[in-house]
Amino acid sequence: MSEVTYKEAIRRAMEDALAEDDRVFMIGEDIAAAGGAFKATEGLWERFGGERVLDTPISEQAIVGASIGAALKGRRPVAELMFADFAGVCFDQIANQLAKYRYMTGGQVTLPVTIRLANGAGAGFASQHSQTVENWFLNCPGLKIVVPGSVADAYALFRAAVRDEDPVLFFEHKGMYNAKGSLTDDAPPVEIGRAAVIRSGEHVTVVATQLMRQRAERAAQALAAEGVEVELVDPRTVLPIDFETIGASVDRTAHLVVVQESPLAGSWGATVAARVVADRFESLDAPPLLISAPDTPVPYAGGLEEAWLPSEQRIADEIRGLLAG
Amino acid sequence: MRLDTTSSSAVVEGDPTDDELLGMLRRMIEIRGFEDEIQRAFTKNLVRGSTHLCNGQEACAVGACSALRPGDSMVCTYRGHGAVLAMGASLERTFAEILGRETGLCRGKGGSMHLTDVEVGAYGSFAIVGAHLPIATGLALAARLDRTEAVSLCFFGDGSTNIGAVHEALNLAGIWRLPVVFFCENNLYGEYSPLPSTTPVEQLADRAAGYGMPGVRVDGNDVVAVRRVVAEAVARARAGEGPTFVEGLTYRHRGHSRTDPAKYRPAGELERWLEHDPIPRLEALLAERGVAAAAIAQARADAESAVAEGYAAALAASAPAVELIHEDVYA
Ligand SMILES: Cc1ncc(C[n+]2csc(CCOP(=O)(O)OP(=O)(O)O)c2C)c(N)n1
Ligand SMILES: [Mg+2]
């Protein structure tokens, strides 16, 4: 077992995936000698060479399209899109081509493509480099979407993504790259589509991913001191989402809170709330509480961005309000 | 493709006067000083996110923008501090934007990568590579529809020429013969990748042929040469003769962004380019033309004090009120 950063866990997962299977290759901008814009691919090109770690021009459509083409012939591409926001440039390749190819062809093709994207706000990168982009793709059946929120999950979900026979969007939170956690050599695999209960509690179910999971965890500690026991659930995959685990928790706590880093409209959190209300209305003692960012783009200035992101304080206060309600 | 090789020591018709050149020198020194100040502020954590400085590329910004007139428009990239200042944006408000102040050009909402001052014709700085070439084409389309003779100037990098949006924009401008000047600042690198590793043609101006427009390559560190080539392209555009692709050969003195030490550069390359630094080159040209040393020194002193004053005023301004988050989402 070792203490490593979230970024190192992803780097190791890539290295192990490349070593395990010759069909795996990486493709993206400045991922080879430069080691990636976030330095997550450092050392991979040196070890595996230019046919396994491919630098491309600034051409996101070609990166994803070429990954699809290579996957048609049995390769297992791992495409890096750098800032997740750049998925906008190749939206068609992901949403119309990658997601639907198998379905439209009656199952003739299999597309084990993994796409890595760096998500998230908090560092002053302004509106076009700070979004939580997973929400753009929730409406695209055919894709799987994972959002690892811990070091162990980052490693395990990446390995699962590359082994998966279907396309997986793998969102890394760039605000967590330096967060530390433990990684065991014989960690059990994590199944895509399975939530994890991070903390058990009887009073309220809180569902959160990535940066918001970290903040919700700290809010839960503060609330525990006041006698409020939070059950914290990390869905880890937002397409398909593990409604069973979330629902079972709500059956016990009778309260649902979703915390997310994005605007509410069209988000995975809104989907969770809708499903819980539709499927187990009787389990709820109160309406679900949705803690989200405002329905605005991410602002640049420090004070604005800080206020935009749900804080630990705000999460704790709103949960107090819900339970007092 | 044409290579512009006219020497700037011989005066050509339409060239800037000595006084105008002194103004351009001052602007270039302001931009250099601005970028140096931003770098210092970044290392002091006063600037958030990222910065992409244009030290070394000032002649492209100032030379090209000097060929425009009021009513024309300009769009550029995240490496656009210089271009926005060259259009005449206030030093103080540009500093204030990057420092995240309420007095900033964009009220502190955009930061370094999105500097915009519509009042001076700077319609935006774009951080998704290539996204603004279609927009520049649309600005030119509006000029055509409005019959204004206005011209749209668009800066972009060498690496950008490989993204799909660029192809669509050049083709549309080419087929509709729109009044756009596409100014490619070829600084030899896109992020950490040298141009030959991403781009199968050596002269980017060659790409223009595929869009039925002239492609001209110019020494991007010679402000007079840049001005001449862009002035000619602007004249063509105003006359309804369509777009031009200009490739300005230049070099960024600093790394790609933030604290990038630019280790991927071969030894000696930066030093060779520093010998062609556009600012001393313009000073030498002015001296050659017989402009008094005192006037040149005065331009420098004026630029330096303007930068210092702008920075101090921006620093003193307050942060935007939190309520601003909710403004400007819709009209
Ligand atoms: C669509 C998209 N892909 C990738 C990036 C990341 N990126 C930012 S700048 C840059 C290099 C651009 O190079 P070039 O066009 O030569 O401009 P320069 O930075 O040299 O001025 C890259 C790849 C981006 N901002 N947008
Ligand atoms: Mg470049």
Substitution candidate for ligand 1 out of B129, B163, B247 with most atoms within 8 A of CB: B129
Reported as a pLDDT band with limits 50, 70 and 90, residue B9 is confident
Q: Name B20's bridge partners.
A: none
Q: Is residue A189 part of a domain?
A: no
Which residue of chain B comes nearest to A124, CA vs CA? B49
Query: Among A140, A157, A183, which residue terminates a domain?
Result: A183
pLDDT digits (tens, 9 = 90+) for B75-112: 999 999 999 999 999 999 999 999 999 999 999 999 99
Q: Is residue A188 part of a domain?
A: no
Q: Is the CB of B121 under 6 A from ligand 1?
A: no
| Whether residue A284 sits in one domain with residue A240 | yes
Reported as a pLDDT band with limits 50, 70 and 90, residue B13 is confident
Q: Is residue B331 part of a domain?
A: no
| Whether residue A167 sits in one domain with residue A55 | yes
| Whether residue A216 sits in one domain with residue A79 | no
Block mean pLDDT (10 aa), chain A, length 325: 94 98 98 97 98 98 98 98 98 98 98 98 97 98 98 98 98 97 90 98 98 98 98 98 98 98 97 98 98 98 98 98 94
Work out how many domains chain B is built from and give that number: 1
| Phi and psi torsions of B111, nearest 5° | 75, -170
pLDDT digits (tens, 9 = 90+) for B253-308: 999 998 899 999 999 999 999 999 999 999 999 999 999 999 999 999 999 999 99
Residue B278 near residue B223 (C-beta atoms within 8 A):
yes
What pLDDT is attached to residue B12? 86
| Whether residue A206 sits in one domain with residue A151 | no
The residues, ordered by sequence, that sit 6+ positions from A287 with a Cβ below 8 Å of its Cβ are: A277
Neighbours of B154 (CB within 10 A): 30
Q: What is the DSSP string of A112-173?
A: --EEEEEE--SSS--TTS---GGGGGTT-BTBEEE---SHHHHHHHHHHHHH-SS-EEEEEE
Select from B106, B160, B326 the Cβ nearest to the Cβ of A58. Answer: B160
**A286/A294 Cα distance (integer angstroms):** 23
Q: Note whether A58 contacts B48, CB cutoff 8 Å.
A: no
Question: Per-residue b/e over A68-81, b at no fewer than 16 CB within 10 Å?
Answer: bebbeeebbbbbbb
Taking the CA of residue B163 as reference, the ligand 1 atom at the shortest distance is 1
Q: Is residue A253 part of a domain?
A: yes
| Whether residue A216 sits in one domain with residue A167 | no
Q: Is residue A191 part of a domain?
A: no
Q: Note whether A29 contacts B191, CB cutoff 8 Å.
A: yes
Q: Is residue B193 part of a domain?
A: yes
Using a cut of 0.95, tell me whether the model's pTM lies above it.
yes
Given A8, A80, A129, A173, the catalytic residue: A129
Residue B16 near residue B228 (C-beta atoms within 8 A):
no
What pLDDT is attached to residue A186? 84
Reported as a pLDDT band with limits 50, 70 and 90, residue B7 is low
| Whether residue A14 sits in one domain with residue A154 | yes
Kindly provide the ipTM of the predicted complex, given to two decimals: 0.95
Q: How far is A256 from chain B (nearest CA, A)?
A: 27
Which of B108, B120, B107, B116 lies closest to B135, judged by CA? B116
| Whether residue A144 sits in one domain with residue A84 | yes
Neighbours of B156 (CB within 10 A): 27
Select from B109, B128, B325 the Cβ nearest to the Cβ of A88. Answer: B128
Residue A253 sits in a domain of what CATH number?
3.40.50.920
Q: What is the DSSP string of A243-292?
A: HHHHHHHHHHHS-EEEEEEEESTT-HHHHHHHHHHHHHGGG-SS--EEEE
Which of B60, B101, B4, B70 lies closest to B223, judged by CA? B60
Q: Is residue B190 part of a domain?
A: yes
Structure tokens given for B68:
């425009």
pLDDT digits (tens, 9 = 90+) for B32-48: 999 999 999 999 999 99
pLDDT at B1 over 80: no
Residue A82 sits in a domain of what CATH number?
3.40.50.970
Cα A318–Cα A321–Cα A324 angle in degrees, nearest 5: 155
Please tell me the number of the ligand nearest to residue B79's CA.
Answer: 1
pLDDT at B16 over 70: yes
Residue A81 near residue A116 (C-beta atoms within 8 A):
yes
Q: Is residue B327 part of a domain?
A: no
pLDDT digits (tens, 9 = 90+) for B318-327: 999 999 999 9
Q: What is the DSSP string of A190-237?
A: --TT--EEEE--SSEEEEE-HHHHHHHHHHHHHHHTTT--EEEEE-SE
| Whether residue A311 sits in one domain with residue A233 | yes
What pLDDT is attached to residue B10? 78
Q: Is residue A249 part of a domain?
A: yes
Q: Which domain holds residue B275?
A: 23-315
Please tell me the number of the ligand nearest to residue B126's CA.
Answer: 1
Position A246, amino acid: I
Query: Among A158, A183, A208, which residue terminates a domain?
Result: A183
**A219/A13 Cα distance (integer angstroms):** 30
The residues, ordered by sequence, that sit 6+ positions from A304 with a Cβ below 8 Å of its Cβ are: B100, B108, B109, B320, B322, B324, B325
| Whether residue A102 sits in one domain with residue A51 | yes
Taking the CA of residue B158 as reference, the ligand 1 atom at the shortest distance is 16
Work out how many domains chain A is built from and give that number: 2
Q: Is residue A315 part of a domain?
A: yes
Q: Note whether A300 contacts B100, CB cutoff 8 Å.
A: yes
Half-sphere exposure of B220 (CA within 13 A, CB side): 28
Query: Among A183, A215, A236, which residue terminates a domain?
Result: A183
Q: Among this protein's residues, is A173 annotated catalytic?
A: no
| Whether residue A267 sits in one domain with residue A175 | no
Position B140, amino acid: A
Position A64, amino acid: V
**B51/B286 Cα distance (integer angstroms):** 32
Q: Is residue B112 part of a domain?
A: yes
Q: Is residue B258 part of a domain?
A: yes
Structure tokens given for A14:
């890539």
Which residue of chain A comes nearest to B127, CA vs CA? A128
Q: Note whether B111 contacts A89, CB cutoff 8 Å.
A: no
Residue B235 sits in a domain of what CATH number?
3.40.50.970
Q: Is residue B330 part of a domain?
A: no
| Whether residue A135 sits in one domain with residue A173 | yes
Q: Which domain holds residue A79?
A: 2-183
Q: Is the CB of B159 under 6 A from ligand 1?
A: yes
Which of B79, B105, B19 lies closest to B255, judged by CA? B79
Q: Under an 8 Å CB criterion, which residues of A touch B?
A: 29-30, 33-34, 37, 55-62, 85-86, 88-89, 123-129, 294-297, 299-305, 307-308
| Whether residue A136 sits in one domain with residue A222 | no
Q: Is residue B1 part of a domain?
A: no
What pLDDT is attached to residue B6? 61
